[in-house]
Amino acid sequence: MGKAKLQFAKRYTFFTDIRKNPISYLLVLPALLYTFVYGYMTLPYMVIAFQKFNYTKGIFNSEWVGWKNFEFFFHSTAATMVTWNTIKLNFLSILFGTVVALLFSILLNEIRSRLFKRVSQSTLLFPHFLSWIIVSYIVYSFFSTEHGLINNLLQTFGFDPYNWYSDPKPWTWILVGLSVWKETGMSAVIYLAAITAIDDSLYEAAKIDGANRWQQIKSITIPMLMPTLSILTLLAIGKIFYSDFSMIYAIIGDNGMLYSTTDVIDTYTFRTLRTSGNPAIAMAIGLYQSVVGFVLVLSANWIVKKFNKDSAMF
Amino acid sequence: MKKADKFQIANTIFIFLFAMFCTLPILLVLIVSFSDENSILRKGYSFFPDNFSLSAYKSVFSSNEQLFQSYAVSIGVTVIGTLAAVIITGMAGYMLANRLVRYRNPIALFFFITMLFNAGLVPWYMMNDLLGFKNNLMALIIPTLIFSPFNLFLVRNFMQELPEALLESARIDGASDAYIAFRIVFPLSLPVLATVALFYGLGYWNNWFNAIMLVDKESLYPLQYLLYKLQSEINMVNQMQGVASSNITVPAESFKMAIAIITIGPIVLLYPFLQRFIIKGLIVGAVKG
């Protein structure tokens, strides 16, 4: 009996694995199915980008048009505008978000009162729990032309009220400010966790050598944070081609006067799908985003790998 | 005064100011919701309105089927969705962390690839169309929200750190895979499962993307989408207050802010519990890399 079984068990295939661990495979099945449907079965739909898509004919019988949909997009002025806006807004948010979060994680770490530390940490984290719709209400209560708080203040000090919702210029900074406002607490808590993990003996040794607070921060805290910092930053840069749709669309919506500085690839794709009823062009833009985004993620990971092999994603 | 003390004081003040910067905007919304409508129209939004008033809240709670409907939709979707999402993620995490499964890494790769490359909005929309997730509760629960590979890897990393000897001894005592999963690994993984539940729950509560893409029946509007509609469609405020023509003045500004506050309500009430889990979860995730 042993011999026959042994020979059979020699080749350990995928199916052997399933037979040996049926429960494990059963447990992973729902997630596997979901990922298969939404992550893989969606891929064939991407051929729509090369078609003159017709809902009744479907993806198999629609007319093939080659690169035409891409040409339509790249010949429009929107292509450079939305690409530039996406990169600009993300880059500035990463830059300021990281600097502010780093600053506050270091400052919070210096606080001696535990209670104050905990309370302020929770306070900084709070905006993260709000939806962008709520944030858009807050934005409106500050910038609304008629009733907004900022225009009130301007008028109190004798300035003319300003029509914020029709001037695209300040919105780059308003959006960057909002993303810093909403997400800084979260990143600061991550950095604070990394600071707490630094070995205390390093600081003890520095103190014995006569290093003051500032020298300790400069020579211990910041260098020790570098791995976490560089990884989080590079990962964010890897996603620089994707915007938070729910943020931009909640705050700007379909206000065409602000598009020139705020319209990003995600909102543009959404609007193309919604208004033109032509999914082919929306798909072409989506494919452009997916491909460039993929290349950027791979590059970011490649750079992380060069710095520190263990912290790369793959 | 010592130099270090001066730094402590300055630092405390600085952090206090930043904390104010984080909370004052929300406070403004709260104050406006309690402001008298005329005082808003006269003076604009202000931290110091001339008169306070409860009329916005009265109006919200008096005749608002839509609001209660949306509240019910949001709560139902969040509870059902979060439960399902945590169960799906926890079970998959167990498999990926199980050292007896030799093909666990290829399976992990299968999940991971979708984090790097996805087909985008149009195929996602077509897939939901194909599966019939349109204008029903499923459309608010299943697409996008019910499973995230990021959370899966968070759970897997936690479960991998559980002492292997413990599981080994259970196996020697004859415990089955199912017993180990449900009686040992899941109970021990409660901290990470709670964190993941929080991520999913917040995602469900704050989501309006699924609604804008897949739902146009008013009875299915979740709260956030109702808020979006109130902001983007002026008529919606009148419609909700049962006023047909826009000639009659209704407390539009304070009314909207009151609904915003009611939407934040559950988060504020649960916040003391939530933030502890999120900080713990971030530490679990961050320390390793």
Same domain, B126 and B17: no
Same domain, B140 and B176: yes
Give the ipTM of the model, two decimals please.
Answer: 0.88
Q: What is the pLDDT of residue B3?
A: 66
Residues B237, B256 contacting (CB under 8 angstroms): yes
Q: What are phi and psi of A51, to 5 degrees?
A: -120, 160
pLDDT per residue as tens digits for the range A105-130: 999 988 888 899 888 888 898 899 99
pLDDT per residue as tens digits for the range B251-275: 678 888 898 999 998 888 888 877 7
Mean pLDDT for the stretch of residues A165-179? 93
pLDDT higher than threshold 70 for residue B242: no
Partner-chain contact A17 B101, CB within 8 Å: yes
Instruction: Count CB pairs under 8 A between chains A and B.
Output: 273
Domain count, chain A: 1
- The reply to whether B247 falls in a domain is no
Q: What is the pLDDT of residue A81?
A: 95
Minimal CA separation from B121 to chain A, in Å: 7
Mean pLDDT for the stretch of residues B118-127? 92
- The reply to whether A104 falls in a domain is yes
A114-125 and A171-196 helices, crossing angle to 10°: 140
Domain count, chain B: 2
- Report pTM: 0.89
Task: Establish if A28 touches chain B: CB-CB under 8 angstroms.
Answer: yes
- The residues pairing with B52 across neighbouring beta strands, listed in sequence order, are B35
Residues B145, B81 contacting (CB under 8 angstroms): yes
Minimal CA separation from A3 to chain B, in Å: 23
Average pLDDT of the residues of chain A: 89
Residue with the larger pLDDT of the pair B278 and A6:
B278
Partner-chain contact B114 A314, CB within 8 Å: no
Q: What is the pLDDT of residue B289?
A: 35
CATH code of the domain in which A242 resides: 1.10.3720.10
Residues A100, A253 contacting (CB under 8 angstroms): no
d(CA A173, CA A193): 29
- The reply to whether B126 falls in a domain is yes
B59: pLDDT confidence band, cut at 50, 70 and 90?
confident
d(CA B32, CA B39): 10
Q: Which two tokens stand for residue B61?
A: 């709670």
Task: Establish if A238 touches chain B: CB-CB under 8 angstroms.
Answer: no
Q: Which residue range(s) make up the domain with B73?
A: 64-232
- The reply to whether B120 falls in a domain is yes
Q: Which residue range(s) make up the domain with A137?
A: 68-311
Task: Establish if A14 touches chain B: CB-CB under 8 angstroms.
Answer: yes
CA dihedral of A39, A44, A48, A49, whole degrees rounded to 10:
70
Same domain, B93 and B212: yes
Closest CA to A255 of A152, A191, A148, A175: A175
Partner-chain contact B227 A294, CB within 8 Å: no
B286 to chain A: nearest residue by CA? Answer: A190
Q: Which two tokens stand for residue A160?
A: 């003319």
Q: What is the pLDDT of residue A198?
A: 87
Same domain, B12 and B104: no
pLDDT per residue as tens digits for the range B14-36: 999 999 999 999 999 999 989 88
Set of chain A residues whose Cβ sits within 8 Å of the Cβ of B28? 138, 141-142, 149
Count Cβ atoms below 10 Å from residue A132 Cβ, excluding itself.
Answer: 24
CATH code of the domain in which B178 resides: 1.10.3720.10
Q: What are phi and psi of B133, to 5 degrees?
A: -85, 70
d(CA B178, CA A203): 47
Same domain, B151 and B205: yes
pLDDT higher than threshold 60 for residue A27: yes
Minimal CA separation from A31 to chain B, in Å: 6
Minimal CA separation from B134 to chain A, in Å: 15
Q: Which of B3, B8, B18, B196 to mutate to test the interface with A (most CBs of A within 10 A)?
A: B18
Task: Establish if A256 touches chain B: CB-CB under 8 angstroms.
Answer: no
Which residues 168-227 of A have a C-beta within 8 angstroms of B?
A: 181, 185-186, 189-190, 193-194, 196-197, 213, 227
Residues B28, A149 contacting (CB under 8 angstroms): yes
- The reply to whether B107 falls in a domain is yes
Partner-chain contact B271 A122, CB within 8 Å: yes
Write out B118-181 in H/E/C secondary structure.
Answer: CCCHHHHHHHHHHHCCCCCHHHHHCCCCCCCHHHHHHHHHHHHCCCHHHHHHHHHCCCCHHHHH
Residues B260, B272 contacting (CB under 8 angstroms): no
Same domain, B68 and B172: yes
Closest CA to B81 of B204, B165, B262: B204
Closest CA to A283 of A293, A273, A271: A273
pLDDT per residue as tens digits for the range A198-225: 888 999 999 999 888 889 988 999 988 8
Write down the residue that tokens 């149009």 correspond to: B122
Closest CA to A123 of A189, A190, A191: A189
pLDDT per residue as tens digits for the range A211-265: 888 899 889 999 888 888 888 888 788 889 999 999 999 999 888 899 999 999 9
Same domain, B143 and B72: yes
Sorted by sequence, the CB contacts under 8 Å of residue A281 that are 6+ apart come out as A69, A72, A73, A272
Residues in chain B, overall count: 289
B200 to chain A: nearest residue by CA? Answer: A129
B236: pLDDT confidence band, cut at 50, 70 and 90?
low
Q: What is the pLDDT of residue B281?
A: 67
Minimal CA separation from B62 to chain A, in Å: 23
d(CA A189, CA A235): 18
